[in-house]
Amino acid sequence: MSKTSRKIKPKLDRLSQALENGELDQARRMLNRGLAPVDVAHLLESSPPKERNLLWELVDAELQGDVLQYLGEDIQTDFLRDMDAVDVLAATENLEPDDVADILQRLPNAVILEVLDSMEAQERQRVETVLSFPEDTAGGLMNTDTITIRPDITLDVVLRYIRRHERLPDSTDTLLVVSRRDEFIGTLPINRLLVSDPSVTVREVMDTDSVVIAALMPETEVASLFEKHDLISAPVVGGDGNLLGRITIDDVVDVIRGDAEHQVMSMAGMDEDEDTFSPVLRTSWRRAIWLGINLLTAFMASAVIGMFEGTIQKITALAVLMPIVASMGGIAGSQALTVLIRGIALGHVKSGNVRWLLKREIIVAVLNGMLWAVVVAGIAIAWFGDIQLGAIIGAAIMINLVIAAVTGTLLPVLLKKLSIDPALSGSVILTTVTDVIGFMAFLGLATWLYL
């Protein structure tokens, strides 16, 4: 809970005024005492590089870790590059093990080891546990700050045990019941603890059928379990059934948000951690790669058109109308592609129903193909006074819409099977297909009928 949830706007205004007037001491005070770390992070993310670096230097060392954990990957990496092991250690002192692990993963190996070496034994072990799992699995997402209890004590003992804590870890909605050998047995919701008879034992009221997460479960699966079962936290167990830690909803929300952004950003060839204000050269280079890939596909379309130069020279109306055929195919294909990618992500699309979906998409394409073929043919005839041209463009639109539907449906399924991210490569491949088929069908039919 933050002290600055309301009315941070005037504070930000005063801060930026202090910065403009060069009153750095005052700005430093406002930044470190007036704002919550999450607001400082948001301010940094909303600032162009020059102001951002100035602001970062004003953040106190012991606050930097708190702020770091709320920053995007890109910016984290930028700031961490200038920090040595001592700085990192100071910054991460008060963070939870999963957040420390996240930050360490952006550092060179030598620095990671140096930081780990300087940690207290217990803290080091916790961070190392998290680091031992891939970042995008349950193990990499979990926290080790669990409150565990034994099954054979009474709730009264549990209540007294809890009262010995100064505070409970954030998002503690359940206590985790483990055996003497640390095997996970069940969960005791805190709210049930509060309403149950204190004289009964934990075993009598605990849940043994609640959701348990395997350490190597991919984080997107973890997220869908949380969504499906409205969880606030869930225990993570290793292959031997031992309790390793727990995952809390706030980290899951980050996964859900990241997942969703991934798809949107990927469609334009970008990364979900892209910094809105990243420096010009970095941005240019990253985008250049995507432009280059698309240029290749554009040249493939050009090569197809090049095959029909002779026809175009005779009937220039073809050049005027050909983008329509390609564009309608691209739009129809991307609709099918989007529905399929989403259906796969939600787990609605399985091998058993792809055939039904394919059939549906083809029928939709034929229906829309008929509608728009007639419309476009009519306009083409009215425009160029050529009935044959109308028939050709109508047929080409029909062909391209059907091919677009088949490609849009099967491509994501195929890419998924090959473990290729359909959000990133799907639309490029689809557009290549609809451009090539669109130009080929239209110009090919025209060549065949006119020449």
Rounded CA gap, 319 and 311, in Å? 10
Task: Please name every residue paired with 218 in a beta bridge, in sequence order, or none if there are none.
Answer: 137
17 forms part of the interface with a copy of itself (CB under 8 A): no
CA distances to 122, 253, 371 from 118, rounded to whole Å, are 12, 32, 70
Determine the size of the site formed for a copy of itself (CB under 8 A): 125
User: Which x/- pattern over 208-247 shows residues binding a copy of itself (rule: CB under 8 A)?
Assistant: -xxxx------------xxxxxxxx---------------
Q: Applying CB under 8 A, which of residues 291, 387, 449, 451 lies at the interface with a copy of itself?
A: 291
Q: Applying CB under 8 A, which of residues 82, 84, 156, 299 lies at the interface with a copy of itself?
A: 299
How many C-beta atoms surround the C-beta of residue 296 within 10 A?
A: 10
Residues 6 or more apart in contact with residue 101 via CB below 8 angstroms: 127, 130, 131, 140
For residue 441, give both structure tokens. 């069908």
Residues 35-94 that bind a copy of itself (CB under 8 A): 38-39, 42, 45-48
Q: Do residues 196 and 154 make contact, with C-beta atoms less than 8 angstroms apart?
A: no
Residues 6 or more apart in contact with residue 300 via CB below 8 angstroms: 432, 435, 436
Q: Residue 430 Cβ, how far from a copy of itself at the closest point, in Å? A: 11
Q: Applying CB under 8 A, which of residues 360, 374, 386, 450 lies at the interface with a copy of itself?
A: 360
User: Which x/- pattern over 301-340 shows residues binding a copy of itself (rule: CB under 8 A)?
Assistant: xx--xx--xx-xx--xxxxxxxxx-xxx--xx-xx-xxx-
Rounded CA gap, 339 and 231, in Å? 27
144 versus 263: smaller Cβ distance to a copy of itself? 263
91 versus 213: smaller Cβ distance to a copy of itself? 213
81 versus 257: smaller Cβ distance to a copy of itself? 257
400 forms part of the interface with a copy of itself (CB under 8 A): no
Q: Do residues 377 and 391 make contact, with C-beta atoms less than 8 angstroms apart?
A: yes
435 forms part of the interface with a copy of itself (CB under 8 A): yes
User: Which x/- pattern over 246-285 shows residues binding a copy of itself (rule: CB under 8 A)?
Assistant: ---xx-xxx-xx-xxx-xxx-xxxx---x-xx--xx-xx-
Q: Put residue 182 in one of left, alpha, beta given phi > 0 → left and psi -120 to 50 → alpha.
A: left
Q: Residue 419 Cβ, how far from a copy of itself at the closest point, in Å? A: 21
Rounded CA gap, 237 and 199, in Å? 29
Candidate ranges 1-9, 112-120, 177-185, 410-418; the one touching a copy of itself (CB under 8 A): 1-9
Could you give the 3-state DSSP secondary structure of residue 152?
Answer: coil
Q: Residue 411 Cβ, how far from a copy of itself at the closest point, in Å? A: 14
127 versus 336: smaller Cβ distance to a copy of itself? 336
Residues 156-185 that bind a copy of itself (CB under 8 A): 159, 162-163, 165-168, 170-173
Q: How many residues does the chain have?
A: 451
Rounded CA gap, 235 and 102, in Å? 20
127 versus 365: smaller Cβ distance to a copy of itself? 365
State phi, psi for 225 to the nearest 5 degrees: -65, -45
Residues 20-39 that bind a copy of itself (CB under 8 A): 38-39
